Amino acid sequence: MSIGSIIGNVAHKLSASVLPDVRHRSRAPRQSKFMLHSRGQPYWLRLVAVSALTVLAAGTASAGQYGNCQVTGTKGAYHIDPVTPGQLTVEVSLPAPGWFNGDTPDTIADGYEFCMAAEIAARAGLAKVVLVNASWAQLIGGNTHNFDIALAEATITEPRKQVVDFSSPYFDSDIGILAKAGTKVDSAAVKQMRIGVKQGTAGAEFIMDTLKPSQEVKVYTTSPALVAGLQAGQVDAVAADTAYLLGFAAKSQGAFTVVGQYHTGAAYGGVFPKGSQNVAAVNAIIDDMKRDGTMSALGAKYLGAAWGVDPSKIEYFQP
């Protein structure tokens, strides 16, 4: 049976399957059912529930691939203690275009953070990556367990450090404003707009505590609901990390654009369960990836090219 057939059967049956590995065979975790969606819906309306799917590493050790990712580091150069032997269990919060290309774990084979996870797995000597989709509030609130690291465009903040541990920073995080194409926005106008934010995010905190617009801020619990609110005219604009919004703009076929951004000086970090013993080893891997150019290469391939715009060229508003 081919690898593609095996993965297809797993997604179709939503049950445990046996996946071939370079050195051994292991049983994939049982998956939770996820909500189906209509083909006619925009991708941001495709709601997903908690699910997990094993993403198989390359068929041979020499190929050095995980999904569509071509890993470059030395295999097994570092040691971590994963929650499940032989695999890196990565928590995500989908959708996240550019970061994880696909709407559900079974459709993802590349993206900036997916291939970052593949590099971590390879350099830690682990044969595969397992994705587990979770709600943002549960993930960032320290309420989920049985994972090694979460990669979810999570801004490092002091309050969050009280309930989770963070990795070394790996991506700068500014706050962007997404609006329908053709909307005229400047520093003064944005403060008069109806702005939507996602609950529990750095964008929500910035808008409410720093920008303080004249109209009431509308809070959404999920990213699909946030962008759907903009599409439906419930709000005039939405605020979130610039890098995150650029992914939505790129996938909107010209419907949305990032009209401006605010400098915050913040950065993304990987999220660990509080007290994880793997922080130091994963930090060493991430720091190596920054030094050897891997992170820059991933950004150029999966973010810059997909967005079609240099984030630094987007106008910076004054709060």
**What is 76-90 written as a DSSP string?**
TSS----SSTTEEEE
Same domain (yes/no): 67, 200? no
Q: Smallest Cα–Cα separation from 103: which of 247, 5, 300?
A: 247
- Asked whether 255 and 180 are in contact (CB, 8 A), the reply is yes
Same domain (yes/no): 114, 252? no
Amino acid 183 reads T
| Total residue length of the chain | 319
The tally of domains found in the chain comes to: 2
| Structure-token pair, residue 92 | 């995500």
- Asked whether 144 and 90 are in contact (CB, 8 A), the reply is no
Same domain (yes/no): 124, 234? no
Same domain (yes/no): 165, 108? yes
Question: Dihedrals φ, ψ of 11, to 5°?
Answer: -65, -35
Same domain (yes/no): 136, 148? yes
Same domain (yes/no): 94, 67? yes
End-to-end CA distance of the chain: 57
**Cα 109 from Cα 299, distance rounded (Å):** 16
Same domain (yes/no): 46, 151? yes
| Structure-token pair, residue 33 | 């059912």
Residue ranges of the alpha helices (H) in 172-265? 187-190, 202-206, 223-231, 242-251
Place of tokens 């702005």: 195
Question: What pLDDT score was predicted for residue 65?
Answer: 55
Pairing status of strand 25-27 against strand 18-20: antiparallel
In a domain, 318, yes or no: no
**Cα 114 from Cα 75, distance rounded (Å):** 17
Distances (CA, A) of 255 to 38, 72, 200, 249: 20, 37, 26, 7
Cβ atoms within 10 Å, residue 229: 16
Q: Smallest Cα–Cα separation from 135: which of 223, 226, 53, 241?
A: 223
Contacts of 108 (CB under 8 A, 6+ apart): 55, 67, 100, 101, 102, 114, 131
- For the chain, residues with pLDDT lower than 70 are 1-65
Same domain (yes/no): 252, 279? no
Q: Smallest Cα–Cα separation from 299: which of 164, 119, 112?
A: 112
In a domain, 319, yes or no: no
Strands (E) across 134-275 are located at 149-150, 164-180, 195-198, 218-220, 237-241, 256-273
Same domain (yes/no): 249, 259? yes
Which residue range(s) make up the domain with 210? 173-266+309-313
Same domain (yes/no): 149, 291? yes
Q: What is the pTM of this model?
A: 0.69
Same domain (yes/no): 138, 249? no
In a domain, 71, yes or no: yes
User: Which helix (H) or strand (E) element contains residue 11?
Assistant: helix 3-13
Same domain (yes/no): 150, 279? yes
CATH number at residue 238: 3.40.190.10
User: Which helix (H) or strand (E) element contains residue 19?
Assistant: strand 18-20
Query: 52 in helix, strand or coil?
Result: strand
**Cα 285 from Cα 291, distance rounded (Å):** 10
